[in-house]
Structure 1
Amino acid sequence: MSRAQPEQQAPPVQRLRIRYAKRGRMRFTSHRDVSRAVERAVFRARIPMAYSSGFHPHPRISYAGASPTGAATESEYVELALAEVREADAVGTALDEALPEGLDVVAVVDSATSRSGSLSDLLTGSRWRIETRQDPAEGAAEAVAAFLATDSVEVERMTKKGLRTFDCRGAVVTMAIDDAGAIDLLLEHAVPAVRPDDVLTGLRQATGWAPPANALLTRLAQGVLDRAQETLGDPLSPR
């Protein structure tokens, strides 16, 4: 007896791109838990989602460039595929009200009016602020200068595929100490991905200096990297 074929869902009629922040205690929330919170919020806000086809349909929600657990961020991105056309700001307001405190909608645009390309293609760099919690950050400027003068700094990190060794220096576009003693870091999204904590590990290995373990990592921006100009383009900007 042949198995029944799954129902084919209609394609999305609109895609909304959303920038959101992860603040306060929510920075300790894993990406999986954030994903669940977004799905619950979409349901509570009664957003008319498009669903995937197959035996187990699920709402079409796409994430890109998720930050590591423990890092605060002002620049996370998610795309919602809708079954009905809705006004972007109204969806953003409803979703923000349904999300838990600390997950905050910052901006919403229709993908049809924003930069072309997938979200992943538009997120090629990140700007980070690393609060050293040292006042002043003694030896920090000298350590950063020494790190930048190094061609390659290999670090190790445990990944899903086991222990990986990779160069963290190549992904660093700029790094400097600001007036408050925090590290301003511009990173290129490389393969394998280089995270701010990898850079701190490399900084310690190369120079002997690094912030304490309780340093606060915050992603300030994420977007299209222009390495020559050392800038990030807004992925939600108009075409």
Structure 2
Amino acid sequence: MATRRVPEGPAPDPTVQRLRVRYAKRGRMRFTSTRDFQRALERAVRRAGLPVAFSAGFHPHPKISYANAAPTGTASEAEYVEIALTRRVDPARVAPVLDEALPDGLDVVEVQDADDLPGALADRLQGSLWALRLRADGTPVDTGAVDAAVAALLAAEELLVTRMMKKGPRELDVRAAVLGMTVAADQVPGVPAEPGDVVLLVTLRHTVPTVRPEEVWTALGLVGGTPLPRPLSTRLRQGPLVGDQVSDSLGG
């Protein structure tokens, strides 16, 4: 019988604390992929001198958990990761140091001790509030067409769009994921709209797979009958669902 190989040397130090980090993707950084961000965060953790915990085995890697990252091409004010540490640190002091170590546009919003928060991170991320900015591009967006498309989508019982998956095309029911959709009456913080733009606020339940803002836009085009400008999408909030609203806190 073959003998199982065991890595030489001492076992990695145990995890004694987990930090839950909320960060934003802004400006051109909305084009960063999940893997791009992972590499940037691992470099930033080293630069910040955080005592990150590592996995065991022949190829140890930092214990960093990523949950429900926004699609490439979208901005976000509410992305989350958890970082395991081998000694305790003050979360309030970590936030500015980690933010300084990240590229501009990947901005740390808040750092908390995960042990002070209820539930697992993935379980708490039940829904998202998105802002879909329909750009005027020289001609004001037809608000009547937008209102008609929104009303038609909300009136539908089912609205299927197709996503190409690794195993082939798959139909997703966008209507089942949409908990609410309105046209913003005022300027939305974090969304740099210009005169003539229309901003849609869309509350989405996290389904499996998660419906994306691009698929909401596709669905609006299907039911509205009039092509709408392709949106710039920003996630404003992500967290537990309270009725048909998304809480801005992962706390109690």
Whether the TM-score (by the shorter chain) exceeds 0.5 is: yes
Match of 2:121 in 1: 119
Alignment pair present for 1:231 and 2:237: no
Question: In the alignment, is the contact (CA less than 8 A) between 1:71 and 1:218 conserved in 2?
Answer: yes
Alignment pair present for 1:13 and 2:30: no
Distance 1:206 1:136, change over 3 A: closer
**Counterpart Cα distance in 2 of 1:46 and 1:205:** 51
Query: Which runs of structure 2 are paired with 1:26-45 in the superposition (5 Å)?
Result: 26-45=29-48
Cα shift at 1:209? 3.3
Alignment pair present for 1:199 and 2:199: no
Please tell me the residue identity of whatever aligns with 2:148.
Answer: E
Question: In the alignment, is the contact (CA less than 8 A) between 2:237 and 2:247 conserved in 1?
Answer: no
**Counterpart Cα distance in 2 of 1:23 and 1:37:** 15
Match of 1:179 in 2: 185
Cα shift at 1:208? 1.8
RMSD, matched Cα: 1.5
Query: Which runs of structure 2 are paired with 1:83-232 in the superposition (5 Å)?
Result: 83-114=86-117, 116-134=118-136, 135-138=140-143, 139-179=145-185, 181-213=198-230, 215-226=231-242, 228=243, 230-232=244-246
Question: In the alignment, is the contact (CA less than 8 A) between 2:134 and 2:141 conserved in 1?
Answer: no
**DSSP 3-state at the match of 2:240:** strand
Query: Which runs of structure 2 are paired with 1:49-64 in the superposition (5 Å)?
Result: 49-64=52-67
Cα shift at 1:233? 2.3
Cα shift at 1:51? 0.6
Q: How many residues in Structure 1 have an aligned counterpart in Structure 2? A: 234
Cα shift at 1:210? 4.6
**Counterpart Cα distance in 2 of 1:133 and 1:191:** 30
**DSSP 3-state at the match of 1:182:** strand
Report the more deviating stretch, 2-11 or 102-111. Answer: 2-11
**DSSP 3-state at the match of 1:58:** coil
**TM norm structure 1:** 0.93
Question: In the alignment, is the contact (CA less than 8 A) between 2:30 and 2:73 conserved in 1?
Answer: yes
Distance 1:236 1:167, change over 3 A: closer
Identity %: 50
**Counterpart Cα distance in 1 of 2:37 and 2:80:** 12
Cα shift at 1:50? 0.6
Name structure 2 gaps, 5 residues minimum: 187-197
**Counterpart Cα distance in 1 of 2:216 and 2:227:** 9
Distance 1:235 1:160, change over 3 A: farther
Report the more deviating stretch, 87-96 or 18-27. Answer: 87-96
Please tell me the residue identity of whatever aligns with 1:186.
Answer: T
Partner deviation per Cα, 1:4-28 (whole Å, 9 max, x = no partner): 4125323200000000000000001
Question: In the alignment, is the contact (CA less than 8 A) between 1:109 and 1:236 conserved in 2?
Answer: no
Question: In the alignment, is the contact (CA less than 8 A) between 1:128 and 1:217 conserved in 2?
Answer: yes
